[in-house]
Structure 1
Amino acid sequence: MLNLVITLRQKTHEVWHSRFVRSVAVIATGTAGAQAITMAFAPLITRLYGPEAYGVQGTFMAILGVAVPIGALAYPISIVLPRRDEEALGIIRLSVYVSVFVAALLAFGLWLGGEVAISILEIESVGDFIYLVPVAMLLAAWKQIAQEWLIRKKEFGVIARSALATSGILNSARALAGFVHPVGAVLIVLATLVEALHTLLMLIGIRKRTTVDRSEPSEVSKVSIIELASRHRDFPLYRAPQIMINAASQSLPVLMLSAFFGPSTAGFYMLSIMVMGMPTALVGMAVSDVFYARITEAAHNGENLSRHILRATGVLAVIGFIPFSIVMLFGPWLFSLVFGAEWSVAGEYARWLAFFFFFNLVNKPSNAAVPVLGIQRGLLFYEVLSTGGKVAGFLLGFYWLNSDIWAVATFSIIGVFAYGGVMLWIYLCAVRWDRDARISQ
């Protein structure tokens, strides 16, 4: 028994003093601070603006969420992968060029047919603010480029501090503006400006904290932008569509609720996903960012990838069990207590979405391993099937059950099965990778 206790203490000490856990803790601390600021302001902001204003902002963010993944055609994700910094810098230049071109193309398209798009999507509540989408998309692409370089250089502290400062400024601005003019338009403008602020803070961190490693001579500097675009073409071909479809599957409920039940219902949903997404934002994204860099390094070193995925997934499952279980049991009461009695419906949504977001949380390590395993084409195929199933579930709730709550419930249940399936598939791919690596040695 004594030996068992000593062994457990040694293992615990190894875990908490590992570089991986320290890196996760750095990002999680910054994210926790950012989320704490958001939650501290939330009871005030929800009372100032109300469900309708939240719904207008949610509709805009849903549209932006679908547009952002194609902003740089997912090329920034590949910045972490090259062994040498020079090739990574080439991908950064490629990503910037692509983001400017795509944003200009979208702006031109909206100039020609913006009013038609508003009418088709039934988003009159957003109105002319749809023309801010290309600007916000471009800023979001640059933010991702900066973040991926920081992940590559393992400067997780810069990411954490940037998130913390951005959250403080954004929520303070929301609260102050809410006393003067509490409408959805204010929330949309601030959501656009905050992308610029977040990007600027990370660029300042990059300038101060990162350097380019030129110690290894290579031919990378001679590689053209076109060659880099071709070398990493699986990102625009498979990963960008996959991310866009995934974003669409999460944005469609907001757009559908707004179209069928009005902006207030969409506002209830927006608040519920904001709260349910907190564990993912707090821990899941921190693990995902650090794990992406770690598993890339592990692949370069010939380590066991499936073991890394399994351990990280298990840790997230343990972390997420208690908070999501509490919302499942007491969701409506908690939302009414914290945000005001008019937000009880958001608690009902959250009760069902807790299942979905629990699996979304534990899926992060598997999703981060996809570029390393080279299975982005398969992930795209999965995303098409998953999104089709979730949209069908939502429509079932609308048209057959005639209930917004049942629409959210069916969406969540189908999403749970989809996440479970893709995690199993990615794990089996990692097992095959490990087996092939052993054979080749």
Structure 2
Amino acid sequence: MIVVTGTAIAQVITVCTTPVLTRMYTPDQFGVLSIFVVILSGATIVSCLCYEPAVVLPADEASAIKLLIGCILISALMAGFSYISLLSAAAPIARFFNITDSLSMLWWIPWTIIGMGLFQAFTYWNMRLKKFKYLAASRICQSGVTAAVQIKGGLIGAGSSYLIYGQLLGLFVAVLVLGYETISQRFRMLVHGLLRPQELAAPLNQYRNFPLYSTWGTLMNTAAFQCVPLLLLKFHGTTVVGLYFLASRVVSMPMSLIGNALGQVLYQRVSDQLGQGQNIAKLIAKVVGGSILVWTPPFFLLFLFSPAIFSIFFGSQWNSAGYYAQALIPLFLLQLITSPASVVLIALNKQHIAARLQAILLAVALLSLGLTLSLSNSPLLSLIVYSLCQCIVYFVYLLVIIHCASTSIGEIFSEMKTIMRIREYELQPDRV
């Protein structure tokens, strides 16, 4: 509950400042920010090679802290590798995507990888210790600092650079909040592990399925979403990308607000129940059923009134983003229902199944977007086709999760009926 509350406050900050920022910055400037967010998303995955969820699993703290140290060292190595790669690749990448004016943005990639590596590693370490107050505080500080820097940039007319600086500074402030307890209480253990990296081999090898399957699976899942702004950039430029960025940011807010936090807490509960030999079927059925009941009505209302909402709250120049949002709403609703429950596959050590499904998501995304963008000059049509195709794959993904959790659609409907009966009883007036 603490994590959800902290994430909610962080998202309230984002929600309240977004209408201000959309009147300070143009869609073109938001398009540049969108490309940086794509980089940030990629850095989230490669920074620790997806070892960070394993930090929660060992029974003894010594093995867990070795995994934590391993994540830190891996992120440093990946940052160094990215810097060396950029020495020869930065200019060709900028030319390919027509962003030569924003070439300097690419040189923030190594710092982004380091920042995301530390953020992810310390997040799961605090989850292990059940220090949920640090998770909540980090998200609030991150949103607050990001918003403050971006608003300052808008006031002085600094352009898209301050949108990016805000993201980076917010990230590193969150790292400081998350790492405070670990560094202050376990400094000697961290130093010992950093000085003796050979001792990290055993735990890293034990959980090798995480980088072998989760890295590629998560990378493909993220690419299935992040290929959209990249392809829109290639075919239509930064203005269309900026409009798409705002649409996806608004529609994905529930995922950022509740979905990610729910997934983290659910991962902890599923791991605990499996460790105690308990069945997780009822838990997963309740989570999926509850998500359907909670999120379907507001998403339906947003679908009906998106263009008007975007024009009123964000300004008339963002009207087209409302139509993009309508195209994306079915996809993000299914993602919001499916993604938190997908931690079951990680907890059951079935990352290979998730990897295959995520490969299908990426292939379908590239095929649907690539064809429609090549054959049509309408970004909206491309987004509609992309969204519908991804919805089909996500529904299959959900069915696989239900099967692996040993639950069923019937049990999910049963949990939904129970939730509705409880809610109906709570709403009844007291009887004397």
Residue 362 (structure 2) pairs with residue 387 (structure 1) = yes
Structure 2 letter corresponding to 1:61? V
1:355 aligns with 330
Residues 1:63 and 1:123: Cα distance change in structure 2 (over 3 Å):
farther
Identify the residue that residue 379 of structure 2 maps to in structure 1. Answer: 404
TM-score computed with the length of structure 1 as normaliser = 0.87
Deviation at 1:248, TM superposition (A): 1.4
Report 1:4-403 matches (<5 A). Answer: 25-206=1-182, 224-403=199-378
8 A Cα contact 1:394 1:407, kept in partner: yes
What's the offset of the Cα at 1:124? 2.5
Q: Once the 2 structures are TM-superposed, how far is the Cα of residue 249 of structure 1 from its aligned partner?
A: 1.4
State the distance in 1 between where 2:186 and 2:291 align: 33
The Cα shift of 1:211 comes to 7.7
1:81-139 deviations in Å (ceiling 9; x for gaps): 11222111010111111111111011111013211222234433431210101111110
| Distance of 1:153 and 1:397 partners within structure 2 | 48
Q: Tell me the amino acid that sits aligned with residue 252 of structure 2.
A: G
Cα distance change of structure 1 residues 403 and 389 upon mapping to structure 2, 3 Å threshold: same
Amino acid corresponding to residue 419 of structure 1 in structure 2: Y
Over 3 Å counting, the alpha-carbon distance change for 1:182 and 1:330 in structure 2 is: farther
Deviation, structure 1 residue 190: 2.1
What do residues 58-93 of structure 1 show as CA deviations (whole Å, max 9, x unaligned)? 012113322331111111111111122211101011
Root-mean-square deviation (Å): 2.0
Residues of 2 paired with 1:274 and 1:285: CA distance? 14
Deviation at 1:36, TM superposition (A): 0.9
Tell me the SS of whatever aligns to 1:224. helix
Aligned length: 400
- Deviation at residue 261 of structure 1 after TM alignment: 1.1
Report deviation, 1:401: 3.5
CA separation in 2, counterparts of 1:335 and 1:255? 23
CA contact (8 A) 1:31 1:163 kept: yes
Mapped partners of 1:287, 1:66: distance in 2: 22
Give the counterpart letter for 1:313 in structure 2: V
Which amino acid counterpart does residue 391 of structure 1 have in structure 2?
L
Shift of 1:205: 4.5
Q: Is the 8 A contact 1:63 1:251 kept in 2?
A: no
1:186-230 Cα offsets, whole Å, 9 max, x none, are 21222222211110111125457x789x9xxxxxx9993112221
What SS class does the counterpart of residue 126 from structure 1 fall into? helix
Q: Is the 8 A contact 2:44 2:120 kept in 1?
A: no
Q: Which amino acid aligns with 1:241?
A: W
The residue type equivalent to 2:122 in the other structure is: A
In structure 2, the partner of 1:11 is none
CA distance in 2, matches of 1:321, 1:182: 40
Instruction: Tell me which moved more, 178-187 or 118-127.
Output: 118-127
Letter in 2 for 1:259: K
> Structure 1 pair 222/53, CA: closer, same or farther in 2 (3 Å)?
closer
What is the identity percentage for the equivalent residue pairs of Structure 1 and Structure 2?
Answer: 25
In the alignment, the residues of structure 2 paired with residue 207 and residue 196 of structure 1 have an alpha-carbon distance, to the nearest angstrom, of 15
Q: Secondary structure at the match of 2:59?
A: coil
Whole-angstrom CA distance in 2 between matches of 1:384 and 1:141: 23
* One-letter code aligned to 1:78: A
Structure 1's 211 and 369: CA in aligned 2 closer, same or farther, altered over 3 A?
A: farther
Moved over 6 A (4+): none
Structure 1 residue 257: Cα displacement = 1.2
CA contact (8 A) 1:123 1:259 kept: no
Q: Secondary structure at 1:181's aligned position in 2? A: coil
Q: Is the 8 A contact 1:82 1:88 kept in 2?
A: yes
What SS is found at the alignment partner of 2:377? coil
**Alignment match, 1:14:** none
- How far residue 145 of structure 1 moved from its aligned partner, in angstroms, is 0.4
Q: One-letter code of the match for 2:53?
A: I
Partner AA of 1:387 in structure 2: L
